[in-house]
Amino acid sequence: MNKSLLDKAESFQPKVDLSAVEAAASEYRDLIERKADLEDLLSAAGKAVEEMAMVTLPDLLDKAGVDRIGVPARGNQAAFDVVLRPYYKAVIAAIWSDERKQEAFDALEQHKAGDLIRRVVTIYIPHDDPMAAEYERRMVAMAEKVGLDAEVTRTVPWNSLTSWLRERVEAGRPLPPLEAIGATVGRKATIRDRKS
């Protein structure tokens, strides 16, 4: 290639200012670090809010002998009420060991709540199998016939379990060990804007 043509071609190449690239890379790193710091702050704030709502305010309201308190307007912040309400939550977590899940299922069955348990059947179909759509239609009944591995698991939807728990608590009926079914029962302070 002609030297003058090569010189001309190189002159058309835009010159990159490496200091601008370094500055952008540094800003990128700083943003990642700031994001991590904010996520830590958000997590800590979430824990503090939960502690205030589930422990601190319910304890203080109990000591005061009330289940609600009005807070008057201050500065540019509107008046509001803190109201103590029952709180229920129950979850049999997917990450629990099989033994712990079995404990939870046994506890529900002992309390005549076995109908909350759902059985989930999973069929493993190779992605590139040309018969995948056919296998999907046949599901569990055909799994063994076509040689696919099938896994049966049981689960309880958290909202059904929580509803069942609330009904039992409110009716004063016996409960399984709360830890066994991943349950929390208590009261939670909530803030409501005061209606004018």
Backbone angles phi, psi at 168, to 5 degrees: -70, -45
Segment 153-181 shows an average pLDDT of 93
| Whether residues 153 and 185 fall in one domain | yes
pTM: 0.62
Segment 178-187 shows an average pLDDT of 94
What average pLDDT does the chain have? 87
Query: Is residue 146 predicted with pLDDT exceeding 90?
Result: no
Of 144, 136, 57, 152, residue with least CA distance to 101:
152
For 33, residues 6+ apart whose C-beta sits below 8 A from its C-beta are: none
pLDDT band at 145 (very low <50, low <70, confident <90, very high): confident
Containing structural domain, residue 38: 3-65
Check residues 104 and 18 and name the one with the higher pLDDT: 104
Segment 151-171 shows an average pLDDT of 89
| Whether residues 121 and 178 fall in one domain | yes
Domains in the chain, number: 2
Residue 80, domain member (yes or no): no
Query: Is residue 58 predicted with pLDDT exceeding 90?
Result: yes
| Whether residues 19 and 106 fall in one domain | no
Cβ pair 53, 190 in contact under 8 A: yes
| Whether residues 22 and 92 fall in one domain | no
Check residues 128 and 109 and name the one with the higher pLDDT: 109
Segment 117-136 shows an average pLDDT of 77
Check residues 122 and 2 and name the one with the higher pLDDT: 122
Q: For tokens 């201050």, what's the residue? A: 74
pLDDT digits 0-9 by tens, 2-28: 666 666 666 666 677 888 888 988 999
Residue 183, domain member (yes or no): yes
